[in-house]
């Protein structure tokens, strides 16, 4: 069952081959056995999980006529990145600042999956406040990559990626601000999708950079991600950036042939900076797409080289504003010893935040300060508009854009800690889609050096998730990279 797709799990539950309680217990036992090594989960609660599973079984037994009982996801377990507020569960965002915070309400994403009848396995480890590309900044310790525990799983959704790769959960939620779903999906050999900005509500998702953050699904396959996105997408009046659009079935076009599909290959994605082993695997995947009937065309994204500097002005600026609420007054960590109110603020934030979070708050405060706003923040927003315009021009020549997700396979722990800029460049191929608000996804396409997974990135037009998922699914019908798992974890 640990290798079954969500559709297969749904069929097994519907046919009474396994109960929701038995399925949840299977994964809980794996978590109990393997999490001490991988550190993918921050919080589990067997009693809460099994209570939800029993409720799912009872609803199925009595044939309850409601949306949850009718859902294809009913009774299937998943885990949530610990950035989503989850009622009654500890919600830490990977930080000392929220280490003991119990959320009094559910995020919209959590509500949507609960309405579909899914069972929560627990809360997943992540880079602190989603700031990182390696999952080394978590207050609760680094997550290990199941393919090689001496290497990073990627970040910030590293716990989500590691949990799925190790089959500690069949599916998980993630968030993507600059590549934080796609990059860990690539480094851990699974499928992850960042929807168009506004398709999934950000209500109850602890904010990092509000104009960039977007929640999305992570699972083994494109088909699984399509089912999850169908459940989690939807308008929410509590989120001013949520888009009011008709409900979609994102699995509707999965089986369409790829004949005539035009794939754009940006020259900027295939230049210097990509490791040779990644290049070889990505080019082999593109050859497979040509065999499936797709054609490739050269396109250009001339301003993509500016995406990293623009992002690291905009994202820290928004973070410095969003994280000002963590002051020790209302909730979260408070310094135990202080003199006056100003001293309490200072010591609470100094003790409660890790080094990377402090670095980004300082950068963000600087670029928003008087005299520097126009020189940095305003210029970065102008570049952002140019990047979006580049994509608009490129999509006049193609249906989707493809390239590498990450310039390298997973690197060793500590390899980039001494140089934050080198760490930031890990997201060089993913950041531009966030700046433009476009949908993007990563799917496994082979293995590079040291037998580590390589991810292929697909970028679509705004709201064209179905075409991306179709392209990914058809590729996964003729390859098995997405179904492979690390040795010794069965």
> Catalytic residue numbers?
81, 156, 180
C-alpha triplet 175, 379, 382: angle, nearest 5°: 70
Separation between Cα atoms, residue 271 and residue 266, nearest integer Å = 9
Cα atoms in the Cβ-side hemisphere of radius 13 Å centred on 90: 17
Say whether 327 sits in a helix, a strand or coil. coil
Nearest to 426 by CA among 406, 410, 445, 411: 406
Nearest to 175 by CA among 222, 227, 132, 138: 132
SS3 breakdown of the chain: % helix, strand, coil, rounded to 5?
45, 15, 45
C-alpha triplet 476, 301, 161: angle, nearest 5°: 40
**What b-and-e string marks burial along 46-61, b requiring 16 or more CB atoms within 10 Å of the CB?**
eebbbebbebbbebbe
The token pair that represents 262 in the structure block: 């035009």
Sign of the torsion formed by the C-alpha atoms of 199, 203, 204 and 205: positive
Are residues 105 and 87 in contact, defined by beta-carbon separation less than 8 angstroms? yes
Distances in whole angstroms, Cα of residue 390 to Cα of each of 177, 182, 311, 435: 20, 21, 16, 12
Are residues 364 and 320 in contact, defined by beta-carbon separation less than 8 angstroms? yes
Residue whose entry in the numeric block shows the structure tokens 């949306």? 67
Other beta carbons within 10 Å of 427: 27
Those residues with Cβ within 8 angstroms of residue 154's Cβ, 6 or more apart along the chain or in another chain: 133, 134, 135, 145, 161, 183, 184, 185, 186, 187, 188, 406, 410, 426
Separation between Cα atoms, residue 241 and residue 202, nearest integer Å = 8
Are residues 129 and 168 in contact, defined by beta-carbon separation less than 8 angstroms? no
Separation between Cα atoms, residue 22 and residue 122, nearest integer Å = 16
């Amino acid at each position: 069952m640990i290798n079954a797709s969500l559709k297969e799990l749904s069929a097994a539950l519907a046919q009474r081959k396994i109960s929701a309680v038995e399925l949840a217990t299977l994964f809980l036992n794996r978590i109990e056995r393997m999490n001490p090594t991988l550190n993918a989960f921050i919080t589990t609660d067997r009693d809460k999980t099994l209570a939800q599973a029993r409720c799912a079984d009872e609803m199925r037994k009595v044939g309850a006529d409601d949306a949850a009982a009718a859902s294809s996801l009913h009774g299937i377990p998943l885990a949530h990145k610990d950035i989503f507020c989850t009622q009654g569960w500890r919600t830490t965002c990977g930080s000392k600042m929220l280490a003991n915070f119990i959320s009094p309400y559910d995020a919209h994403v959590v509500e949507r999956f609960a309405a579909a009848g899914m069972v929560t396995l627990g809360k997943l480890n992540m880079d602190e406040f989603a700031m990182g590309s390696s999952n080394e900044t978590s207050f609760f310790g680094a997550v290990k990559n199941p393919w090689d525990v001496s290497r990073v799983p990627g970040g910030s959704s590293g716990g989500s990626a590691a949990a799925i790769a190790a089959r500690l959960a069949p599916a998980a939620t993630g968030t993507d601000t600059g590549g934080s779903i796609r990059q860990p999906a690539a480094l851990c050999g699974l499928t992850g999708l960042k929807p168009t900005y506004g398709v999934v509500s950000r209500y109850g998702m602890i904010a990092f950079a509000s104009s960039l953050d977007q929640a999305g699904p992570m699972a083994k396959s494109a088909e699984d991600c399509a089912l999850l996105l169908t459940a989690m997408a939807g308008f929410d009046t509590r989120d001013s950036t949520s888009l009011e659009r008709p409900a979609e079935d994102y699995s509707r076009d999965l089986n369409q042939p790829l004949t005539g599909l035009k794939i754009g290959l940006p020259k900027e994605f295939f230049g210097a900076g990509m490791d040779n082993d990644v290049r070889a695997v990505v080019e082999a995947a593109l050859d497979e797409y040509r065999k499936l009937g797709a054609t490739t065309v050269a396109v250009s994204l001339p301003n993509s080289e500016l995406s990293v500097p623009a992002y690291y002005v905009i994202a820290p600026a928004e973070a410095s504003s969003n994280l000002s609420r963590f002051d020790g007054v209302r909730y979260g960590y408070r310094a135990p010893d202080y003199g006056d109110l100003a001293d309490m603020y200072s010591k609470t934030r100094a003790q409660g935040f890790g080094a990377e979070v402090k670095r980004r708050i300082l950068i963000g405060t600087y670029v928003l300060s008087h005299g520097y706003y126009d020189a940095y923040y305003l210029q970065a927003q102008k570049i952002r508009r140019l990047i979006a315009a580049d994509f608009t021009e490129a999509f006049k020549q193609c249906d989707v854009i493809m390239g590498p997700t990450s310039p390298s396979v997973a690197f060793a722990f500590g390899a980039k800690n001494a140089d934050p800029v080198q760490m930031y460049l890990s997201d060089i191929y993913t950041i531009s889609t966030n700046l433009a608000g476009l949908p993007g996804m990563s799917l496994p396409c082979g293995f590079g050096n040291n037998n580590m997974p390589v991810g292929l990135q697909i970028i679509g037009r705004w709201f064209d998730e179905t075409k991306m998922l179709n392209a990914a699914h058809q590729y996964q019908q003729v390859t098995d990279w997405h179904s492979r798992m690390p040795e010794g974890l069965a």
